[in-house]
Amino acid sequence: MVSALVRPGRQLAKRLLLLQSGVVLITAIMAVFAVSVDWGISALIGGGIFVIANAVFATCAFLFSGARKARLVMASFYGGEVLKILITVILFAFVYLYVEVELVPLKLTYLLALGINIFGPVLFINNNK
């Protein structure tokens, strides 16, 4: 029964991650054809940073469920958020230091994935009651 409580949240997280991954991939392909291969790779890296960090957060957020594990639920949620921020910072630092990227597509695709994260759940809300 406890897993039934978190099943909708897990499904929403999976659908959101798939949507983000698809949009990042399509954006990168469009950047390759519209501008250059460097732009496509940079777009893929920028969006990939967000998708990876968001996947880690989703994994941590749904580790525990149920009222008896309320403290563990909150701890894993906040721990997942901290880990998401740390992974984002580390990946951006690594990319800035060791990879030659175009900054415009890198940041724009990251922001696009962030926008999907903010507005995407509206697409999946079921208003049938």
* 0.75 surpassed by pTM: yes
CA 20 to CA 11: how far, in whole Å? 14
> Model confidence at 57, in pLDDT bands (50, 70, 90)?
very high
Of 4-8, 15-19, 59-63, where does the model show the most confidence? 15-19
The answer to which of 33-47, 77-91, 113-127 has the lowest mean pLDDT is 113-127
